[in-house]
C-alpha cells in the first residue's frame, strides 16, 4: 500500500508513505479516492512526504482534491513545502 490512514471523528487523515513517481501515481490516487468513498468523511487531510513532493505526488493529491471538491469535502495537504501549500490553496477547477 502506498497510503496509510486514520479516522478521527469526521476527519480522514491520509498518509502518503513515499513520494510517488509516474508508475505509482494512479494507484495512490485510487487508494485515496477509495478511502474517501468508503469512510464518507466531512474533512480530509493528506500528509505529503518529504520537503519537496514530486510532480506525481502533487498530481495524485490534486486529483483527490478535485474529487473532494465535487463531493463538498474540504481537503488539506499537511507537511507540504511552502510552494506546494500555495498550489493547494489556489482555486483549481
CA 57, CA 16: separation in Å to the nearest integer?
A: 9
Q: Which of 25 and 86 is assigned the larger pLDDT?
A: 25
- HSE at residue 69, side-chain half, CA atoms within 13 A, is 13
Q: Which of 86 and 48 is assigned the larger pLDDT?
A: 48
Mean model confidence pLDDT for the chain: 88
Nearest to 24 by CA among 70, 55, 67: 55
- Count: domains in the chain: 1
Q: Which of 85 and 68 is assigned the larger pLDDT?
A: 68
CA 90, CA 11: separation in Å to the nearest integer?
A: 22
Per the rule left: phi > 0, alpha: psi between -120 and 50, beta: everything else, 18 is beta
Instruction: Note if the pTM is more than 0.75.
Output: yes
Domain that holds residue 38: 3-89
CA 59, CA 55: separation in Å to the nearest integer?
A: 6
pLDDT single digits (tens) 21-57:
999 999 999 999 999 999 999 999 999 887 788 889 9
Q: CATH number, domain at 70? A: 3.30.750.24
Amino acid at each position: 500500500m502506498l497510503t496509510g490512514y486514520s479516522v478521527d471523528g469526521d476527519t480522514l487523515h491520509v498518509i502518503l508513505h513515499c513520494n510517488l513517481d509516474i508508475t505509482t501515481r494512479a494507484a495512490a490516487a485510487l487508494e485515496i479516492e477509495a478511502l474517501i468513498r468508503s469512510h464518507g468523511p466531512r474533512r480530509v487531510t493528506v500528509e505529503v512526504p518529504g520537503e519537496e513532493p514530486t510532480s506525481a505526488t502533487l498530481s495524485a493529491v490534486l486529483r483527490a482534491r478535485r474529487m473532494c471538491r465535487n463531493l463538498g469535502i474540504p481537503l488539506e495537504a499537511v507537511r507540504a513545502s511552502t510552494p506546494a501549500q500555495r498550489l493547494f490553496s489556489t482555486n483549481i477547477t
